[in-house]
Structure 1
Amino acid sequence: MHIQRRPFFYGWYFRCQSETDTIAVIPAVHISGEKSSSSIQILTERGVWNMEFPISEFKLSRKQMKMQIEKNCFSEKGIRLDIERAGIKIKGRLDFGPFAKPAFDIMGPFCCIPGMECRHSVYSMEHSVNGTIQIQGKDIRFSDARGYMEGDSGTSFPETYVWTQHFFRDGSLVFAAADIPILGVHFKGTIGIVRQKDKECRFATYLGASVVKMGENVLKIRQGRKTVLIRLREKEGSMLHAPCSGKMTRKICEYPSCQADYIFFCGKKKEKEILAARAAVEYEVKKKHNPA
């Protein structure tokens, strides 16, 4: 793999959820003028672990959708973890079923615009998960559980953003909104997919969607006569590392399993309401980030 010298990051996000447990696994590579390295972050409802590895231990095949960091392997077929270092022991394997892929790139035509700060991908809205991960001697078991996979690449995460993902009874959803800089101009962009019984409903800036409100506990998006109101009722979150100019110096807070309400309207008529007890939520809207 040819390693770029300009600031750059590339990472995948796997979320797996059973009836009792949730785990997020985030392998990534990050490159800046000062340092190049790779990392694996693991987040559960019990804690968070961040492990850094030399860039020489990172391998990636985008065509085959395979990533390897030291002994740890990631692909659309599953995850294999084998980490043992001072104070940390994480081992196990998760096998994935076929991916439920979006109808087309979540970024739409924005995927063709050069120089974007962050490009987002959704690889699977839902797939089955089976296997066991042992963290610090405790097993997290998944049997016919549910999984989601997305990815990000670019130079930095957005200054301000809201993101949420949830599995509901007969489907899954993901919504995100962010302040997006392009060529010195900033605008609030949004993307979202609700997948239910193999049917996809999409919200996106390129489809005419606009961000009506984006705050610490609320996200409201309007697209034509359709409106989605998301109320976030987070519990205690965990701090994750995030990229800023290719360096993992930024700290963000993610809630791996918390309450959220998703309310869908057509005009003024409420069409659907999803009350989530174990949604994933991540946001940064309180203040702007100052790079280290």
Structure 2
Amino acid sequence: MIKKIYFPILFQGNLNKKNYFEGWYYKLVNKDKTISLSFIPGINLNSSDSHCFIQYILVEKEAIKSNTTTGYCKYDLGDFNTNYEPFSVTVKNSTFTEHSIDIDFQDNSLSLRGNIKLKNITPISSSFIMPNIMGIFAYIPNMECNHGVISMNHNLLGNIHINDRKIDFSGGKGYLEKDWGSSFPKHYIWLQCNHFDDESISLFFSIAHIPLHRLEFEGFICNIIINNKEYRFASYNLSKCKVIDISLNHCKIILENKVSKLEIFGNITDQGNLIAPIKGKMNKSIKEGISGRIIINFTDKLSKKSYTHFGENAGIEIVDY
């Protein structure tokens, strides 16, 4: 149990659970940043429609526009398999690990086949108080939605055939996280970007409604790596967060603690439909963009240094907020 808390990439559930989902999120961006592709292998357990799945979102940038394609490929529960050590999760003919993706599936829109290696994984820091990105909340059982950040940034090697086209992802960058529980939050904002003008910068942010037994509150977590140093803003470390401007396609967020201050400006440029869990069933349609733009203003209060950076190919979701 403790090992699962420290290593959230591992399968957190079991096949006897009810009203349960678990999904891994693999994001890939090619070297010239013209193609963004995310895979979400997962499992959904409930009394009426237990199954496993691979969900995907593909964004292809052209000179004056972007094209987005999404899909949800559903499989029998018997097509799901996971290995503990070394970690792997297999859905039908596709296998995902901490260091590789072997993809082989198709739906009515696309056929996707290929192999990608994930190099130089960048995990987040952890401790007894913060065993994963959820901090002390990681020890609380039966949370509605749990989150794990596996790699803030890594390099890609390999290619994927999308229909009859061979897309080379070598030299590109990736990101890896996951969610598990019974439902996505009833409202939330999620941002992720590791394609800034300074290539060493990686950002993850989320704020969401959190029910906790008889209580409920707005919880937030943010992790940023800048100049090879990791900074954490979170409800559990007494940071502050303000959402001061929000719409269906943009947001402005300010985070602050004793060590640093971060302003995030996020703008969604293109979106596709994905399926999210509600009370154990994959039946809610949400919008996600993985080609958004982000501007950050960051200040290290200890060194008195400030930075402004522009990011693209950002993952952004603003759901019912």
Q: 2: CA distance between counterparts of 1:87 and 1:148?
A: 25
CA distance in 2, matches of 1:210, 1:252: 27
Preserved contact between residue 38 and residue 57 of structure 2 (Cα < 8 Å): yes
Question: Who is 1:177 aligned against?
Answer: 207
Q: 2:280, 2:234 → 1: CA distance?
A: 27
> Quick check: which one's strand share is greater?
1
Query: Equivalent residue for 1:250?
Result: 284
Query: What are the superposed Cα offsets for residues 35-94 of structure 1, whole Å, 9 maximum, x if unpaired?
Result: 111110111113112211111100112442200011100001210111145554211111
Q: Is it true that 1:83 corresponds to 2:99 in the alignment? A: no
The residue identity in structure 2 corresponding to 1:13 is Y
Q: 2:75 aligns with which of 8, 30, 53?
A: 53
- Aligned residues of 2:270 and 2:291 also touching (Cα < 8 A): no
| One-letter identity of the residue aligned with 1:135 | I
Deviation at 1:136, TM superposition (A): 2.3
Q: Which moved more, 1:132-141 or 1:153-162?
A: 132-141
Distance (whole Å) between structure 1 residues aligned to residue 307 and residue 87 of structure 2: 35
Shift of 1:171: 2.4
2:241 is aligned with 1:211: yes
Contact 1:9–1:154 (8 Å) recurs in 2: yes
> Could you tell me how far 1:220 is from its partner in structure 2?
2.6
Q: Report which stretch shifted further, 115-124 or 192-201.
A: 192-201
Separation (CA, whole Å) in 2 of partners of 1:2 and 1:183: 22
The answer for unaligned runs of 5 or more in structure 2 is 1-12, 60-66, 127-131
3-state SS of 2:51 partner: strand
User: How many residue pairs end up in the alignment?
Assistant: 285
Farther-moved stretch of structure 1 (161-170 vs 210-219): 210-219
State whether residues 263 and 270 of structure 1, in contact with CA within 8 Å, keep that contact through their aligned partners in structure 2: no
Closer, same or farther: CA 88–233 of 1 in aligned 2, 3 Å: closer
Describe the superposition over 1:115-163 as per-residue Cα deviations: whole angstroms up to 9, x where unpaired: 2111100111111111111222233211121111001110011111111
- Structure 1 range deviating more: 228-237 or 242-251: 228-237
Cα displacement string for residues 170-219 of structure 1 (whole angstroms, at most 9, x for unaligned residues): 22111111111101211111111111343211111111123311633223
Alignment match, 1:24: 38
Structure 1 residue aligned with 2:293, among 259, 267, 273?
Answer: 259
Q: 1:242, 1:102 → 2: CA distance?
A: 25
Structure 2 letter corresponding to 1:271: S
Correspondent of 2:50 among 36, 55, 61: 36
CA contact (8 A) 1:188 1:211 kept: no
The amino acid that maps onto 2:113 is K
8 Å CA contact 2:71–2:107 kept in 1: the answer is: no
Q: How does 1:1-292 map to 2 (within 5 A)?
A: 2-18=14-30, 19=32, 20-45=34-59, 46=67, 47-84=69-106, 86=108, 88-104=110-126, 105-167=132-194, 168=196, 169-213=199-243, 215-216=246-247, 217-218=250-251, 219-224=253-258, 226-265=260-299, 271-286=306-321
Q: For residues 147 and 132 of structure 1, what CA distance do their matches in structure 2 show?
A: 13
Q: Tell me, in whole angstroms, the C-alpha distance in 2 between the residues paired with 1:278 and 1:84.
A: 24
Note if contact 2:270-2:290 (Cα within 8 Å) is conserved in structure 1.
no
One-letter amino acid of the counterpart of residue 262, structure 1: I
Distance 2:169 2:211 in 1: 40
Between the aligned partners of 1:264 and 1:65, the Cα distance in structure 2 is 36
SS in 2 for 1:242: strand
Q: Which shifted more, 117-126 or 162-171? A: 162-171
Query: Residue 308 of structure 2: SS of its match in structure 1?
Result: strand
Partner Cα separation in structure 1 for residue 16 and residue 318 of structure 2? 29
Corresponding residue SS for 1:144: coil
Range with bigger deviation, 179-188 or 86-95: 86-95
CA contact 1:93–1:132 (8 Å) conserved in 2: yes
Report the AA paired with residue 294 of structure 2.
Answer: A
**Greater shift after overlay, 59-68 or 243-252?**
59-68
Distance 1:62 1:196 in 2: 32
SS of residue in 2 equivalent to 1:56: helix
